Amino acid sequence: MTIIIDPQGSGISGNMLIGAFVDLGANPDELKEIMEKSASEFGKIKVTFEKIVKKCISSTYCNVEMIENEKAVNYPEFIEKINALDIDEKVKETSIKVFKRIAIAESEVHGKPLETIHFHEVGASDAVADVIGSIYAYYSLNLDNQKVIGLPIAVGGGRVKTAHGIIPVPAPAVVEILKDAKMIGGPVDSELATPTGAAIYMEICDEIKEFIPLIKPKKVGHGAGKKDFNHPNILRIIESSDITESDEIDVIETNIDHLTGEEIGYLFDKLLDIGARDVSITPIIMKKNRQGSLLKVISKKENRENIIETIFKETGSLGIRIAPNIHRGVAKREFVKKTVTINDKEYEVTFKIGYVNGEIISKRPEYEDLKRIAEDSRLPLKEIKELIK
């Protein structure tokens, strides 16, 4: 399944994300409880959900009303309070990553050390509810096991009043958070992208694209914003079925005739560690009948420079061949952990599952797990493979 987060029309905020997740099936009663409980450490809030229509489009509005707010605390104290919350560890860890993105952005904007940053409205009780509510809904829908693609964010325009005075839109912190993403001004003279919404978006998106890729839409959720414009003030999230994707890769090659087997093995492992998708070594006969090896690396183009630099440094090669933008068919893949029992002992095994158009085409246990079980059980590797498949 592929998830598309679409903030092109009217930007993004925490409560819009929550509304869209509820539209997709997240439980509003559970969200209300977790949001109000988590925010209580920072002030009292009231959460309500309402089905409304924004310019003829049905959507879910999550209203987070701040009844009282505690005094702002600095970043270390803030994170300490979040760590003390009695919530799911995955939700807590990811929420802390979101808050760290916001704090780092504030630190850059104000030129202050991270430890001295006070969150002000970003760390207020309603923002805590927005972040933890969004992340809780994300995990409750099992979106952490799906590919999440973000589209460009409409950030609005004009000026907005904040704790730091009147500042231009998008706010400086939003620009910092959205570095390496895609954003566009307008379509109204108003703030459309909040630091909270932008930070959640950057944390949960696996990839940022300019357009929706080839998908088969199955379900759409709309989260409503508070303001009313001449256009629908909504965030759209599209859930699609699995498809075979087209992938652009680089094939990087060089001939090697002066490295030992151990040195080639080291290079093999290092290239995989820095992001190569695949590495192969093929014995070849070179000019003057010298024996050598052909190193072939498959890489995403964004890793090209790092991989080329590593090959130059580790091999001393004077020339590297690159075949860029080769397309390949890629089956949808996911990793599933299962528990198996061997000789009355339980082991956790990760299976790599491949799909094409929703149909399973392969299901293989990871070699490292098989090796670990074989060593622990003292059974032959091939026997472990037969027992687990």
261-271 residue pLDDT tens: 889 999 999 99
Of 258 and 47, more confident: 47
Token pair in block for residue 388:
């687990």
pLDDT at 121 over 50: no
Token pair in block for residue 94:
């990811």
Rounded to 5 degrees, what angle do the CA atoms 17, 19, 24 make? 95
pLDDT tens for each residue of 199-232: 999 999 999 999 998 888 999 999 999 999 999 9
Give phi and psi for 303, each to the nearest 5. -95, 0
State the alpha helices, DSSP H only, in 170-289. Answer: 172-177, 195-204, 261-273
* pLDDT value, residue 178: 97
Rounded to 5 degrees, what angle do the CA atoms 233, 148, 200 make? 60
| Strand partners for 222 | 236
Question: How far apart, in whole angstroms, are the C-alpha atoms of residue 8 and residue 50?
Answer: 23
pTM for this prediction: 0.66
Token pair in block for residue 76:
């270390």
